[in-house]
């Protein structure tokens, strides 16, 4: 087996690595296949959804508290300031579906503002985290029916039976500018599937980060304390932990820059030297300076986002922006 000292072999030991071939469960095998596929491209890449293991989720929560990372506090302030107005547009007794559930801090703000929502369906890919947060929320809101759904919300959603035909208006909630992780085409596709899920009369409340001064943007993704760097580097640490890989995490560095032409922050891991990483019997060679693309975070002008939503059949009902023009909330009406 490669990577193991050849005890009973006369072959010379060229290089000792920590690479272990592990027996993988189904989820880990999907992760492994994605990693192998992504690292086999001319521009190596890893999907940003893999940032969020336990450690990555903790680091992301830390990012959200950084001075430089303005989106979280700005969006939270918008929800607080305009909660009543938003609730007025949404109306009473709705079924609320949250796409991707973080700490549910913003969710609580919205639920508190709403007039007795009847059902809350948080959808997330990370089962443990989702069930834990949903349980806590259900305890805090004993009158609210909480029905968590473990699913990858980038694919079509199968909603709980209860929601079908109970007549309640469906409202989607997608805070945090996670829409920024999709390129424009995928964003339209995602919005179309949301519109289908919500159905006629449905509404969608979505947070969207705005185009702004490049320095502000870059600082938000390359903070002085290096939390975002640790968050980015964690994805190769996760490959080591879960797939038995032997990435030398200290031989990579974080890079973030704003691609003005594409209107997006791009994040990379840069190899600091010529090196090879091994994962489940696959070898990935890096030249010095070679990169792994790990994330795109698209930024929008208000009208630009409105046009994108319109392509997916949504009509903008109202948009809210903070005084500094940093972040926006959009309430959209599904009109299939």
Interface positions with ligand AVJ (CB under 6 A): 63, 71, 176-178, 180-181, 221, 228, 295, 297
Q: Which is nearer to ligand AVJ, 181 or 234 (CB)?
A: 181
What's the CA gap between 7 and 19, in Å, rounded? 16
Residue 125: CB atoms within 10 A of its CB come to 17
Nearest residue (CB) to ligand AVJ, 103 versus 316: 103
Helix (H, G, I), strand (E, B) or coil at 186: helix
8 A C-beta contact, residue 308 and residue 184: yes
Q: What is the H or E stretch that residue 85 is in? A: helix 70-90
For ligand AVJ, give the closer residue by CB, 176 or 202: 176
Closest CB 181 distance from ligand AVJ, rounded Å: 5
Q: How far is the CB of 78 from ligand AVJ (least distance, A)?
A: 15
* Per-residue CA distances from 123 to 133, 154, 160, 229, 316 (Å): 11, 11, 11, 28, 24
Torsion of CA 232, 236, 241, 243, to 10 degrees: 140
Closer Cβ to ligand AVJ, 113 or 227, answer by number: 227
Q: Which residue is nearest to ligand AVJ (CB)?
A: 297
Give min distance, CB of 237 to ligand AVJ, in A: 16
Indicate the residue among 122 and 180 with the shorter CB distance to ligand AVJ. Answer: 180
Nearest to ligand AVJ of 100, 244 (CB atom): 100
Please give the Cα distance from 78 to 90 (Å, whole number).
16
Residue 73 Cβ, how far from ligand AVJ at the closest point, in Å? 13
Between CA 174 and CA 107 the distance in angstroms is 10
Quote the least distance from Cβ 283 to ligand AVJ, whole Å: 29
Closest C-alpha among 283, 250, 286, 252 to residue 269: 252
Question: What is the nearest approach in angstroms of ligand AVJ to the Cβ of residue 227?
Answer: 9
| H helix and E strand count, the chain | 9, 14
């Amino acid at each position: 087996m490669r990577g193991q000292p050849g005890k009973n072999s006369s072959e010379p030991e060229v290089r000792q690595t920590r690479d272990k071939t592990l027996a993988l469960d189904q989820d880990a095998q999907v992760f492994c296949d994605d990693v192998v596929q992504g690292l086999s491209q001319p521009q190596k890449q890893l999907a940003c959804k893999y940032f969020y293991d336990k450690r990555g989720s903790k680091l992301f929560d830390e990012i959200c508290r950084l001075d430089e990372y303005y989106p979280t506090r700005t969006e939270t302030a918008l929800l607080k300031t305009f909660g009543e107005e938003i609730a007025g547009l949404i109306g009473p007794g709705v079924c609320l579906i949250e796409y991707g559930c973080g700490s549910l801090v913003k969710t609580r703000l919205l639920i508190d503002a709403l007039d007795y929502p009847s059902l809350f369906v948080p959808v997330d890919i990370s089962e443990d985290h989702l069930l834990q947060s949903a349980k806590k929320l259900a305890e805090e809101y004993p009158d609210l029916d909480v029905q968590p759904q473990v699913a990858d919300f980038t694919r079509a959603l199968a909603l709980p039976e209860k929601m079908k035909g109970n007549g309640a208006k469906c409202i989607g909630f997608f805070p945090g500018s996670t829409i920024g992780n999709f390129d424009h085409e995928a964003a339209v596709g995602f919005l179309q599937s949301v519109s289908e899920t919500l159905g006629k009369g449905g509404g969608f409340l979505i947070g969207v980060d705005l185009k702004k001064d490049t320095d502000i943007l870059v600082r938000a993704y390359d903070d002085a304390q290096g939390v975002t760097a640790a968050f980015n580097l964690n994805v190769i640490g996760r490959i080591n932990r879960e797939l038995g890989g032997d990435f030398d995490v200290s031989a990579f560095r974080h890079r973030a820059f704003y691609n003005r032409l594409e209107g997006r922050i791009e994040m990379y891991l840069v190899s600091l030297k010529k090196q090879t990483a091994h994962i489940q019997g696959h070898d990935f060679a890096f030249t010095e300076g070679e990169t792994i693309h790990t994330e795109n975070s698209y930024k929008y002008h208000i009208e630009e986002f409105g046009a994108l939503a319109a392509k997916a059949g949504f009509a903008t009902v109202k948009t809210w922006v903070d005084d500094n023009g940093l972040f926006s909330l959009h309430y959209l009406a599904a009109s299939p």
